[in-house]
Chain A
Amino acid sequence: MTQPIVELQGVTKSFGPVEVLKGVDLVAHAGRVTALVGDNGAGKSTLIKGLAGVQPYDGGTVLFEGEPVSLHHPREASRLGIEVVYQDLALCDNLDIVQNMFLGREELALGTFDEGQMEAEAARALQTLSVRTVKSLRQKVASLSGGQRQTVAIARSVVKKAKVVILDEPTAALGVAQTAQVLELVRRLADSGVAVIIISHNLQDVFAVADDISVLYLGTMTARLEAKDTSRDDVVGYITGTKTMTEVEA
């Protein structure tokens, strides 16, 4: 197996006396979709907030393309090419689609915004995602539907040419057709060489799209499986803690 793009080794995180991550290992490979599953409170969100640099880990090592890196600020993660699409989407309602997609990395020319350049790139990104329902790139995000917002959030990582895209419950609030569309999009992202980490409660979605499945149980990684070698019952067992560690080396 090739070198993973991202590898976490024994990361820990505590909030006061509560130990949320107790030494977690995680790997993500380019071109593969890694599903991160686990029950509520298992530490999934804490794990990805650390990867995003929003909420730094207390201990452990993060290897990016084999090199140890520090992730203490969103900008550091962004510079490495790690992008997170959050469950609450993290879009600014009062800004338009282009402004949101480029927030924090605006294209400048002569010290001021190069709106044309940003617009052209945003249009291309949305076109790759087969977006048909948006009327204008300059539409305020406040006026978009849930599915459209999800698409804008994902398109943001395309525009940023991310190497690792982390999706936090991307299908939780979507209808059937939109879910299918988003999963297809996730597959396309991975096929283009991006390492995708997807967090989901929905095992049907997980098995539809994931190559690898990592199970988090009360702050420890209890299983790392290849989707084609396992079954839904096994995964449920690991999630609920009724089955224990039988690591299948990917």
Chain B
Amino acid sequence: MSTEIEQDEPALEVDADAPSLLGKGEHGGVREAVSAYLRRVRGGDMGPLPAVAGLVVLVAIFAAANPLFLTERNIANLFTQAAPLVTLGMALVFVLLLGEIDLSAGVTFGVAMGVFVKITQPGGMPWPLAVLVALGIGVAVGGTIGFFVAKIGVPSFVVSLGLFLGLQGVMLVIIGAGGTYRLIPEPIKAVQNRNLPPWAGWTMLAVVLGILLAVALTDRLRRASSGAPNAPLSIVLAKLGVVAVLGAALVFYLNQNRGTAVRTLEGVPIVVPVVLAILMVGTFVLDRTRFGRYIYAIGGNAEAARRAGVNVPLVKWSAFVVCSMLAVVAGFFFVSRVGSADASTGREIVLSGVAAAVVGGVSLFGGRGRLVHAMIGATVIAVITNGLGLLGFSAGANLAVSGGVLVLAATVDALARKRSGAIGV
């Protein structure tokens, strides 16, 4: 790629006695890669491992306690229940990675949805235009928080808490106390209430696997052309295999008829491919672009990032805008499922969103976490809500258990951080 010869390149010579580090660790052989991974986990970088373990345990407990839990209908239900929370959790990852927080993400989507349902009432605006208006509200709110945090230096906790209160007032003005507006546009309703035909579900899985494989192979070719070694192909294929098996099981399950013999209800809910698309695009941005890398760098050491020439205020501001826009998308999933918006829409969900991210392994201290972690964490919380509901527990028990899980996850995060700071491998 860079074949030009640097004329004034310092003529430092390679020390022939020193070992080259190329092809060590993650990019070495199977054994090297596994031991590098274990070293990371021991160093406190556990990622979503605790959440995955928790998920397995919870599913086992609920499945044993209530036979309804693993029915096709409930699993499909679980997906649509979790979708707003997953999306909100992913939105919050962008600011949590900076070490910031957005407490107003929930009411932001509340205001956007209040406006959206109101202007799409019969005789109102065409829905695609209204979608843009709603996203625009997200940009405006995110831009406002970002301005105060990045330019002025007000702690994000305070700014977003202020907006959390203020936007609830805006909601009351828009919708009126006690008022409720029904969601009219069919395409928005369909997202959470309609399903893909079975063949489309399989196509979706094939497309996802195809993209993952193509990206992995392109990476390998590119690395090879730079003279950097690749991890064994078997590791890539093993990872893909896990995704393929889990994905196929879910698509197969969701393609079963979960309605009645007379009225069939089958297929993957439409929201699933939408969430997957957000996950994949977002992960791409965070892992492979400067914007994403700088978010991690600022979360790790903002001063180091600044000294390296990163425009810290701009990156922070943009992250808040992305967060609020994705929160609005979560809002669409929410109203699509509920079917209406009222003055309290989005008020309670935001802390669950933060909890989802933290439970999944995103650090509240910034710099550590991935979008998929938020997805796993949100699934844990959705499973708790769903399972306790099936077992007939009250909403009170549900809140108490979810809160306990959050504190547990934050404790694991703090301990992991301590450990990774103390360990000197």
Contacts and interface: CB of A to CB of B under 8 A. Distances in A.
B21 A131 contact: yes
Contacts of A91: 301, 304
Given A117-B1, A143-B424, A123 B20 contact: yes
Contacts of B14: 124, 127-128
B13 A128 contact: yes
Nearest to B11: A192
Nearest to B19: A132
B226 interface: yes
Given A117-B228, A143-B423, A189 B10 contact: yes
Interface size class of A (residues with CB under 8 A): 35 or more
B212 to A, nearest CB: 15
Interface stretch (A11-19, A35-43, A108-116, A223-231): A108-116
Contact of A95 (B11, B13, B290, B296): B296
Contact of A90 (B1, B2, B303): B303
Contacts of A124: 14, 20
A215 interface: no
Interface stretch (A21-29, A71-79, A204-212, A235-243): A71-79
A137 B23 CA distance: 9
Nearest to A81: B8
Nearest to A144: B424
Contacts of B304: 89-92, 103
A52 B307 contact: yes
Given A114-B226, A189-B10, A194-B10, 16 more contacts: A54-B306, A94-B296, A94-B367, A103-B305, A103-B310, A113-B293, A116-B228, A117-B228, A119-B228, A122-B21, A123-B22, A136-B26, A137-B25, A140-B40, A163-B8, A192-B10
B288 interface: yes
Central interface residue in A86, A93, A131, by most chain B CB within 10 Å: A93
Nearest to A113: B288
Interface of A: 52, 54, 73-75, 78, 84, 86, 89-95, 99, 103-109, 111-117, 119-120, 122-124, 126-132, 134-140, 142-145, 158, 161-163, 188-189, 192-194
Contacts of A52: 307
Contacts of A161: 6, 8-10
B421 to A, nearest CB: 7
Contacts of A162: 10
Contacts of B45: 140
Contacts of B303: 90
20 contacts: A52-B307, A74-B306, A74-B308, A90-B304, A92-B305, A92-B367, A95-B296, A104-B305, A113-B288, A116-B222, A124-B20, A126-B18, A129-B18, A131-B18, A135-B425, A137-B21, A138-B27, A143-B43, A162-B10, A193-B11
A188 B245 CA distance: 54
A90 B425 CA distance: 20
A208 to B, nearest CB: 20
